[in-house]
A and B are shown apart, each in its own frame.
Chain A
Amino acid sequence: MNNELPATDPRVKLLAAKIKKENFKPDALIEILHSAQNSYGYLPMNVLAYIAKALHLPPSRIYSTVTFYHFFSLKSKGEHTCLVCTGTACYVKGAQAILNELEKKTGLKAGQVSADNKLGVQVARCIGACGLAPVVVLDDEVQAKVTTDEIINKIIDKIGTK
């Protein structure tokens, strides 16, 4: 795997502290990955290598765990994220049409990030806000009973153009 992490990076310090807090226990792997993704926004390969070394786990075990769970991402999710809920309640209320139109208007498919890394489009299986369907989460903020135009306008407000 690629280069080592700079020890002066505050994110590395945070990660080291978390690993220490969990007593270097391999069973806390998922907790540690959560914490790493919180500070990095995603899980870069060198971070995974660092965790593998610290927990004395084979890198393959880390990689297999990371790729198993939807929550973890090996790629940057973009500076701003637009997450469309496609759970049943949202589906019944037309989430698929919203997603299709969003994909058309942004030119990004679900799971992709724009070339300038400004915007990422994602889908979720259900965020549990079914009473407010259809919902879209813009940068961790839940938007209730949305329409595509509303979302497009909010995205434009956030990233300026497009």
Chain B
Amino acid sequence: MNRQEFKDLVIAETEKTKNSTCKHKICICCGAGCISSGSEAVMKKLQEEIIERGLQSEVEIIPTGCMGPCNQGPLMKYLPENSIYQKVDCSNISQIVQSQVIEKKPIEHLLLFADSRERPFSNADEDPFFSKQLKIVLKNCGQLNPERIEDYLVHEGYRALDKALFEMSPEDVIAEIKQSRMRGRGGAGYPTGLKWETVYKYVNDQKYVICNGDEGDPGAFMDRSVLEGNPHRVLEGMAIGGYAVGASKGYAYIRGEYPLAIKRFEAAIKQAKKMGLLGPNILGSNFSFDVEVRIGAGAFVCGEETALIASIEGKRGTPRPRPPFPAESGLWGKPTLINNVETFAGIAPIINNGGEWYSEIGTPKSAGTKVFALAGKINYSGLIEVPMGTSLREIVFDIGGGIQGGGEFKAAQTGGPSGGCIPAEHLDVKMDYEALVNLGSIMGSGGLIVMDQSSDMVDVARFFMEFCMDESCGKCVPCRVGTKMMHDLLQKICDNNASRIDLERLEELAVYVKEASLCGLGGSAPNPLLSTLRHFRNEYETRIGKYEEKHIEVPQTSEV
């Protein structure tokens, strides 16, 4: 397909949607979360119901990606009124169709609702869960059918690739990304434009683009939802990246634990190839780009870029010292651009709307929006996207609907096993890369786990240390031995069996492991420990106090 044919196709598809006789649209969330809650059965039942009532020409049923509040699933959205029904069951389909579609009356008690709200909203956009969000990366998730490329084309799909290929030089694309001030969404926050420019500058006949979808942080599911909800957006971002840096081959490394994401992404590749949006001479230009999926095999360390590259090469996923950075010598020794799923998903809007537009969103140092995966003791757990600089309080209480069961907020954990905890006194922190580092945590990939008073922070630290100990690849000693020793000491504290000396040893060890480890896994493994020590030291002290009570004899004052 050449450029003109592409444009004609987009116009034709848009017309088709406009002229559709369907006045009603019912979207059913078919993200992995809602499928687990039974959304596929609900969709089947709905299809039967619509046929039974002879409404096929009026009602369109769209299976979509993640809508957001996963714990309230299965979710069903009725358009154009934008009423979202929660926990939809096959038994109330008939009632919903009768009342909402035919009588135009929403059924209040079935609408999306968190305990902390006064009443449900018949237009979901009025619910603070949605009204406080700004969706760029997730814009079309929950709107379009991720398994149909035509749906994506109607929603500005591949427009950015077309623009980049025919109206911009690779230098222009890089300049635009630099102007946007976008930072890598994988966790470290390295400026994306700068990374692209570095790869671009290395001269080599073969370069690679890698999309890091090895979302290993427990408690994070942003990449999964993006890959499931809008795989073409990621693919488009990768192709633009390939054009900008001069790569002709891309790999998407996706976790083996995400079968649905793999299936949808592979389907997306096939569709894009068929339309000539991927493969040789894309849209008739000189640019050729091909993407292949590589399935992860369950190793947290493979989220580290050099380990991930080793894994794509079919080896043990162990990291290697940097420099040389992958930008210079990556996959098979060639210059390699490696970015996170969310980063690639954010590229197309920047090309479409301009870098300046993007740079105005967020905070001075962290531009744009960030997707967070809310989980834990919170009323709405699920996927949200907010401008950088949104306060933690807004995220937890306005968007997330507050603490489940009316409990008290104790801490939010960000950055997974590499991050830390933010205690209640810092609820007003403006969430961006720097602010979180100042509090001893990190942005990480975006997992945000809310804990209430029932969480024991020493045990939380032990939990993460156990994780790092298990996942340490064993290549360097500080991480391999250090995480094990720290875990054992933490276990001792949890069992009220540790003395003050143990705590001192633990703190000393934390610094060694942090400073001396080869890669980010070991380098950040002490973070959960250090941050709980910083904000919840009293919990450690209490346990040590218990030990001292038992074991240290207080000298008796002898009477003379």
Counting CB contacts under 8 A, is A27 at the interface?
A: yes
Residues of B within 8 Å of A27, CB to CB, are 312-314
Counting CB contacts under 8 A, is A10 at the interface?
A: no
> Which of B35, B216, B295, B455 is in CB contact (< 8 Å) with A125?
B216
How far is the CB of B346 from the nearest CB of chain A, in Å?
A: 20
| Contact string against A for B residues 436-458, beta-carbon threshold 8 Å, 1 for contact and 0 otherwise | 00000000000101110001000
User: Are B36 and A71 within 8 A (Cβ)?
Assistant: no
Counting CB contacts under 8 A, is A26 at the interface?
A: yes
Chain B residue at smallest Cβ distance from A66 = B297
Residues of B within 8 Å of A125, CB to CB, are 216, 218, 298, 300, 467, 470-471
| Contact string against B for A residues 102-113, beta-carbon threshold 8 Å, 1 for contact and 0 otherwise | 000000000000
User: Are A133 and B298 within 8 A (Cβ)?
Assistant: no
User: Are A89 and B33 within 8 A (Cβ)?
Assistant: no
| Contact string against B for A residues 54-83, beta-carbon threshold 8 Å, 1 for contact and 0 otherwise | 000000000011001111100000000000
Instruction: Report, as a range, how many residues of chain B touch the other chain.
Output: 35 or more
Counting CB contacts under 8 A, is B311 at the interface?
A: yes
Which of A68, A89, A132 gathers most chain B CB within 10 Å? A89
User: Are A64 and B316 within 8 A (Cβ)?
Assistant: yes
Instruction: Report, as a range, how many residues of chain A touch the other chain.
Output: 35 or more
Chain A residue at smallest Cβ distance from B296 = A71
Counting CB contacts under 8 A, is B347 at the interface?
A: no
How far is the CB of B536 from the nearest CB of chain A, in Å?
A: 15
How far is the CB of B527 from the nearest CB of chain A, in Å?
A: 14
Residues of A within 8 Å of B32, CB to CB, are 128-129, 142
Give the complex CA separation of A32 and B385 in angstroms.
37
User: Are A132 and B218 within 8 A (Cβ)?
Assistant: no
Chain B residue at smallest Cβ distance from A96 = B463
Give the complex CA separation of A26 and B376 in angstroms.
42
Counting CB contacts under 8 A, is B128 at the interface?
A: no
Give the complex CA separation of A24 and B534 in angstroms.
53
Counting CB contacts under 8 A, is B257 at the interface?
A: yes
Residues of B within 8 Å of A135, CB to CB, are 36
How far is the CB of B111 from the nearest CB of chain A, in Å?
A: 18
Please name 16 pairs of A and B residues whose Cβ atoms are closer than 8 Å in the assembled complex, sorted by A: A65-B316, A69-B299, A70-B299, A71-B256, A88-B463, A89-B449, A91-B463, A93-B376, A93-B377, A125-B467, A126-B219, A129-B36, A130-B449, A131-B33, A131-B221, A132-B33
User: Are B294 and A144 within 8 A (Cβ)?
Assistant: no
